Amino acid sequence: MNLHEYQARELLKAAGVPMLDGGVAATADEVHAIASRIGGTVVVKAQVHAGGRGKAGGVKLAKTPAEAKEVAARILGMTIKGLVVQKVLVVPAADIASESYVGLIMDRESQRPLFMVSSAGGIDIEEVAAKTPEKIHRLAVDPRFGLMPHQSLGLALKLYQDFNQVRAAARMMEQLYSVFMANGASLAEINPLATTSDGKVLALDAKISIDDNELDRRPDLAALRDESAEEPSEVTARKANLTFIKLDGNVGCVVNGAGLAMATMDLVKYYGGDPANFLDIGGSSNPEKVVNALKIITADPSVKVILFNIFGGITRTDDVANGIVTATRQFKVDLPIVIRLTGTNEKEAVKILEGVGMKALNDMDEAVKQAVALAKGAK
Amino acid sequence: MNLHEYQARELLKAAGVPMLDGGVAATADEVHAIASRIGGTVVVKAQVHAGGRGKAGGVKLAKTPAEAKEVAARILGMTIKGLVVQKVLVVPAADIASESYVGLIMDRESQRPLFMVSSAGGIDIEEVAAKTPEKIHRLAVDPRFGLMPHQSLGLALKLYQDFNQVRAAARMMEQLYSVFMANGASLAEINPLATTSDGKVLALDAKISIDDNELDRRPDLAALRDESAEEPSEVTARKANLTFIKLDGNVGCVVNGAGLAMATMDLVKYYGGDPANFLDIGGSSNPEKVVNALKIITADPSVKVILFNIFGGITRTDDVANGIVTATRQFKVDLPIVIRLTGTNEKEAVKILEGVGMKALNDMDEAVKQAVALAKGAK
Amino acid sequence: MSIFVNASTRLVVQGITGRDGSFHSKQMLAYGTDMVAGVTPGKGGQKFEDKVPVFNTVADAVRETGANTSVIYVPPAFAAAAVAEAADAGISFIVCITEGIPVLDMARIMPFVREKGARLLGPNCPGLITPGVAKVGIIPGQICTPGRVGLVSRSGTLTYEVVNQLTRNQIGQSTCVGIGGDPVIGTNFIDVLAAFQADPDTDAIVMMGEIGGTDEQKAAAFIAQHVTKPVVGFIAGQTAPPGRRMGHAGAIVSGSSGTAAEKIAAFKEAGISVMERPADVVRLITERLKN
Amino acid sequence: MSIFVNASTRLVVQGITGRDGSFHSKQMLAYGTDMVAGVTPGKGGQKFEDKVPVFNTVADAVRETGANTSVIYVPPAFAAAAVAEAADAGISFIVCITEGIPVLDMARIMPFVREKGARLLGPNCPGLITPGVAKVGIIPGQICTPGRVGLVSRSGTLTYEVVNQLTRNQIGQSTCVGIGGDPVIGTNFIDVLAAFQADPDTDAIVMMGEIGGTDEQKAAAFIAQHVTKPVVGFIAGQTAPPGRRMGHAGAIVSGSSGTAAEKIAAFKEAGISVMERPADVVRLITERLKN
């Protein structure tokens, strides 16, 4: 789960990371009030879960409260990469002398939180990484010992010469690490970590993503989720414990397991069709999930056929069958449904489906071919 | 530094350890008020840094607030093992069904915090340990991983059969461990860990000692020190950064290093004398320390001679010589002083002492023999 | 023989009395797996299905039954601790089925598992099966048949699909292993490939990868250097949309790697026969075993 | 030769610019120790005494000077971290002089030091000296003389006392080692005894213990089993009052052990000649070397 910049700032601030005092607002009037309180030039920043806000016009300078209000009125409601801006963050404009980058991510390879720092920070950090990888310094932190003082100092020495700045940056890395670990983050970034012309070191922008698996036991973090900033169909899917990604085709896919879901989409393409979505109903079986999956897919008008591809393991195919039967009783499904079921409790599943006059195929290729043919016939 | 029971209770309570609600008081009237608030039978417990309070009459039951006041009036001001009772803790009398023991100590051998638990808790736990060591279960916790859930459960299973009690005890061990680690404890004990007749698990008494080396960076813990509950000469010594233990003899010893201090006392005894104290001025040299050491020793009327035994390493002997000179200028020292100095900056030290007409010996045996002879002559 | 589980596997099920744990324990028992114990704290002393003794702790189970392998079905919040408990109790092979374990929980306990000398398979994996001998996890036993093809996969149900293709075409398996797709896993492709290479009863290997990360490329490099047995591979996700970027850091760590095209190229370069669709496995394995 | 420090010792001083660090660094330099670097964060680029380069980090010092041994004089709150830094930078022998380090700090970093394969001497110890070759720590050089008696002690100044007795009587030392008396230390009696036993240039060993704990008894048992060289021992604290009890737990852990009488008995049983007073060392060593 991605946090908004203003939420990430709050977590970092509580840990002591130095940053400029700002405020978050949902209306242009609130922005005026905040800008008045701050005084001087401010930056108004769109709070959306999308990169490249600045280039999309979602970050603007304003010299006066009146200008801030005006700018905010333009940014609020703006759409950036499909997401509507609901809130803006207002912070004083900083007098930046240099920009560094500090990122901390859960690294698959080392299986540890990995620091990446560079004195060449700012919005072009990815280009720096691609073109001059030697400018990115890395350190995997052993969680058994935490970030040790000589390690944070060593990282900070890659960023600054002035020892006051080195110590300030080292402290911020320790704070960033503690926020990361304490909140089950999968990513925590400060970019830019800026020095001002009077030598101070400040976090000017922050990004934190929380591991979704932490949220069940951390209601405080789960409460930070801003559903208004997400794709509605994905919100519905997540609430139903489904993984759903909308695509452009017309074959609606309901599959158990991400690997098989991808392989099913690949096979739809292989046989000349176009998948309408990625939808993984996951491991544990629960008829309700199938009902929700069908609701989400049938809500997409471009879908012409629904393809179930279920290989039972931990998922019991009879549960899926029951879900299909329940769904078709709860609401009318006008689309053709092609069902492929095999594995755990397959016999029971077939019986259940046959009981309502539905048929289940056993072969994946055959099911996909049928679904593609139906989708083409429906055009 | 030992905490009082009521202070230890506060740390444990903040960590969530279940215990009976009580109050601490310095006067009998306050005890009356607390007992009235609690209602029913209470226990009034002397808050002193000494074991065997109960046997010394420092722990009493009282059925009414009036009786509690009366009991408190007797306990407050009582002397237990040389320490005057300044405060009492008042807690409800618990209906105890069983008493277990849970202790956590920094263990030299494993170099880890070591849990010791026994279902045979209570005041006789040391006898249990001596006579039936198999009743004490031990677990050294690896600080890299902390106390893992299966470990706390395993310990709790040594104490209880009822699984609600097992889980409650496991949780308390986790809380005890977190208090131990978060406060730099060298010891944390719950004894008894009691079950009440209605099956609840409660900490009825608690003892925590903080590593003295933690106190510099933990003013919150240092503030818990109760100097009124300590031997005054030892308070003075500690404030002067000296390690001082009063003994029964008449040869006052000022030595640098605990090992040499003990060997000096042993040698005093070897030559027929009796040391008046153990006093270690420690490693780093500082003339002020010597002045304070002399003040503490000369305050003891039984001292007949003062013996310095300084072997310079990190301690510079010239600093010690300067300290002696400063002290004898600041206040009159009526006792004979035998000085043995050797090691770092020895030549400078001898020169300093000779400058004020004092003599320094080079040999430890000779110095001790002289001091013992002077002490005997003074009798 | 087989890899990781075989006739001397003595299995303890952690979370045997839970919904998923009891369902799959019955299936493992029915398959003939030598299940010697179950663990559910607080339920020690019970018997599962009237025959498998249940203990409060894995240590008790090991002491009383000599269990050497464990499979974990406990809820995500407790699963990493269950892995640590198994490792601490001396279990040498631990299979964690549980999905949704916080990644940092795993990052914290993995070093402990390694220090204890245990091997962890998973988490968030379907486990493994040595057909005809032992099933540890949730791979449906009826789709497998004993034989000499080893299979390793990052995904669950896709594994079943391919195993099923093999079995329907009378190509038996030595062991089928699902390594799981979580960021922190105990056993990776290379570990399994090395085991299959060393197993005298495995003649060929099927490897099922996915888009994302670079594990498949590393495995391909390992195969080129160390695996002499024929390998057939698949990459799922050729038509999948690119995953969400994880900040700048995600882009910096992974660079441009992780696409299906890149992985397929790495496979081909390493001499791996690449399946276009799951059903291709039969033809390719047959071809490679002929040569 | 000697143990732990010798002619190939290349020393880095952590905390070289502090009060104690600079004082003792001058003494170590004067003694002829091959001091190649100093470390004080923020003072990188300076020179100590116009010749020893100062670095910001131990890693820099190791890379630039090939330092292999470190001695630590940093304040207690930072000393455990300094030990970890040295170990992480590849220093193989670390001497920590600092007194007053929180015990849990040491308990937390000791496993790291071990994993890095480094040996730590101390903390809260006087260091060690191989007379005529290298002094690492604070043992006064002028009281030592080269020779063939190895000395190990839990205390600082008591060590000096005994070394002084030896030197004044023309009994030279191979290496004198102070292990320190903190609850958590890196090198114990047994480690040093084993090193002396293996050192071809050590003929006899002097071991100085104290009351408290059971390290001396364990060392005596080790000596009885593994040390063939003559050993002379001392226990300080025969007349000391019993230490304060550390709750019930302290009593349970240590039982009745820790008294001088018990330790002296263990020494005698292990064939160690026991000194009644420090000056006895000369007579006893001379006797034992004759036989």
Q: Each residue of B289-300: pLDDT tens digit?
A: 889 999 999 998
Residue B298 has, within 13 A of its CA and on its CB side, a CA count of 17
pLDDT surpassing 90 at residue D137: yes
Instruction: Please judge whether A343 and C106 are an interchain contact, meaning their C-beta atoms are less than 8 angstroms apart.
Output: no
Average pLDDT, integer, range A95-114: 95
Percentage, residues of chain D above pLDDT 90? 87
Q: In angstroms, what separates the C-alpha of B156 from chain C's closest C-alpha?
A: 12
pLDDT surpassing 70 at residue B327: yes
Are residues B262 and B335 located together in one domain of the fold?
A: yes
Name the interface residues of C facing B (CB cutoff 8 Å): 41-42, 56-59, 78, 81-82, 84-85, 88-89, 108-109, 111-112
Instruction: Please judge whether D57 and A154 are an interchain contact, meaning their C-beta atoms are less than 8 angstroms apart.
Output: yes
Structural contact between residues B250 and B375, judged by C-beta atoms closer than 8 angstroms: yes
Query: Which residue of chain B has the CA closest to A144?
Result: B144
Are residues B272 and B290 located together in one domain of the fold?
A: yes
Are residues A61 and A171 located together in one domain of the fold?
A: no
Last residue of a domain, one of A92, A112, A129: A92
Percentage, residues of chain D above pLDDT 70? 96
Residue D136: which pLDDT band, with cuts at 50, 70 and 90? very high
Preceding omega of D131 cis (within 30 degrees of 0): no
Are residues B338 and B253 located together in one domain of the fold?
A: yes
CATH number at residue B44: 3.30.1490.20
Residue C213, pLDDT score: 85
Residue C221, pLDDT score: 97
Catalytic residue positions of A, numbered:
101, 189
pLDDT tens per residue, range B111-143: 999 999 999 988 888 888 889 999 999 999 999
- Of A144, A145, A217, which to mutate for an interface test with B (greatest number of B Cβ within 10 Å)? A144
Residue A54: which pLDDT band, with cuts at 50, 70 and 90? confident
Average pLDDT, integer, range A279-305: 87
In a domain, B114, yes or no: yes
CA–CA separation, A50 and B305 (whole Å)? 82
Residue C255: which pLDDT band, with cuts at 50, 70 and 90? low
CATH number at residue B272: 3.40.50.261
Structure tokens at D288: 């034992």
Instruction: Please judge whether B150 and C111 are an interchain contact, meaning their C-beta atoms are less than 8 angstroms apart.
Output: no
Residue D248: which pLDDT band, with cuts at 50, 70 and 90? confident
Average pLDDT, integer, range A220-228: 91
Are residues A362 and A325 located together in one domain of the fold?
A: yes
Residue B49, pLDDT score: 85
Residue D255: which pLDDT band, with cuts at 50, 70 and 90? low
In a domain, B8, yes or no: no
**Least trusted range by pLDDT, from B223-237, C34-48, C109-123, C180-194:** B223-237
pLDDT surpassing 90 at residue B166: yes
pLDDT surpassing 70 at residue D242: no
User: What single-letter amino acid sits at C184?
Assistant: V
Looking at the complex, does the CB of residue A217 fall below 8 Å from at least one CB of chain B? no
Residue D256: which pLDDT band, with cuts at 50, 70 and 90? low
Average pLDDT, integer, range B14-34: 96
In a domain, B108, yes or no: yes
Are residues A201 and A293 located together in one domain of the fold?
A: no
Are residues B301 and B197 located together in one domain of the fold?
A: no
Average pLDDT, integer, range D99-107: 96
pLDDT tens per residue, range B169-210: 999 999 999 999 999 999 999 999 999 999 999 999 999 999
Structure tokens at C71: 């499979």
Average pLDDT, integer, range B17-41: 95
Residue D49: which pLDDT band, with cuts at 50, 70 and 90? very high
Contacts of A242 (CB under 8 A, 6+ apart): A279, A280, A281, A282, A289, A292, A293, A296
Nearest beta carbon to residue B259 from set D138, D158, D214? D158
DSSP B96-124: EEEEEEEEEEEETTTTEEEEEEESS-STT
Residue A50, pLDDT score: 78
Residue D147, pLDDT score: 97
Instruction: Please judge whether A314 and C77 are an interchain contact, meaning their C-beta atoms are less than 8 angstroms apart.
Output: no
Residue B374: which pLDDT band, with cuts at 50, 70 and 90? very high
Instruction: Please judge whether C42 and B148 are an interchain contact, meaning their C-beta atoms are less than 8 angstroms apart.
Output: no
pLDDT surpassing 90 at residue D207: yes
Are residues A132 and A243 located together in one domain of the fold?
A: no
CA–CA separation, D13 and D128 (whole Å)? 14
Enumerate neighbours of D (3 or more CB pairs within 8 A): A, B
Residue A332: which pLDDT band, with cuts at 50, 70 and 90? confident
- Kindly report the number of other CB atoms within 10 A of residue B14's CB atom: 11
Are residues B101 and B212 located together in one domain of the fold?
A: yes
Domain boundary assignment for chain D: 11-121, 139-290
Structural contact between residues C233 and C272, judged by C-beta atoms closer than 8 angstroms: yes
Residue B54: which pLDDT band, with cuts at 50, 70 and 90? confident
Residue A282: which pLDDT band, with cuts at 50, 70 and 90? confident
Percentage, residues of chain B above pLDDT 70? 99
The count of CB pairs under 8 A between chains A and C is: 190
pLDDT tens per residue, range D173-184: 999 999 998 999
> How would you label B98-114 residue by residue, b for 16+ Cβ within 10 Å and e otherwise?
bbbbbbbbbbbeebbbb
Residue B101, pLDDT score: 97
Instruction: Please judge whether D109 and A145 are an interchain contact, meaning their C-beta atoms are less than 8 angstroms apart.
Output: yes
Task: Kindly report the CATH number that applies to the domain delimited by C139-290.
Answer: 3.40.50.261
DSSP A246-266: E-SSSEEEEESSHHHHHHHHH
Catalytic residue positions of B, numbered:
101, 189
Average pLDDT value over all residues in chain A:
93
Last residue of a domain, one of B57, B92, B127: B92
Pick the more confident residue, B314 or A296: A296
Domain total for chain A? Answer: 3
Structural contact between residues B165 and B194, judged by C-beta atoms closer than 8 angstroms: no
CA–CA separation, B308 and D186 (whole Å)? 32
Are residues A101 and A200 located together in one domain of the fold?
A: yes
DSSP B109-165: TTTEEEEEEESS-STTHHHHHHH-GGG-EEEE--TTT-S-HHHHHHHHHTT-SSHHH
Residue C244: which pLDDT band, with cuts at 50, 70 and 90? low
Nearest beta carbon to residue B108 from set D76, D183, D252? D183
pLDDT tens per residue, range A122-181: 888 888 888 999 999 999 999 999 999 999 999 999 999 999 999 999 999 999 999 999
Task: Kindly report the CATH number that applies to the domain delimited by D11-121.
Answer: 3.40.50.720
In a domain, B1, yes or no: no
Residue D245, pLDDT score: 57
Query: Which residue of chain B has the CA closest to C105?
Result: B145
Length of chain D: 291
Is residue B156 packed enough to be buried (19+ CB in 10 Å), middle (13-18) or exposed (0-12)? Answer: buried
Average pLDDT, integer, range D103-113: 97
In a domain, B5, yes or no: no
Are residues A235 and A218 located together in one domain of the fold?
A: no
CA–CA separation, D283 and D274 (whole Å)? 11
Q: In angstroms, what separates the C-alpha of C33 from chain B's closest C-alpha?
A: 26
Average pLDDT value over all residues in chain D:
94
Looking at the complex, does the CB of residue B145 fall below 8 Å from at least one CB of chain A? yes
Last residue of a domain, one of A92, A107, A128: A92
Tell me the residue range of the domain where A84 lies: 21-92
Structure tokens at D189: 């009696």
pLDDT surpassing 90 at residue B103: yes
Structure tokens at B219: 């003013």
Residue A348, pLDDT score: 94
CATH number at residue A189: 3.30.470.20
Of D19, D51, D244, D248, catalytic: D248
pLDDT surpassing 90 at residue A20: yes
**Alpha-helix runs per DSSP H in chain D:** 19-31, 58-65, 76-88, 103-115, 157-168, 189-198, 215-226, 247-254, 260-269, 280-290
Are residues B110 and B201 located together in one domain of the fold?
A: yes
Residue D190: which pLDDT band, with cuts at 50, 70 and 90? very high
pLDDT surpassing 70 at residue B379: no
Structure tokens at D167: 């030197």
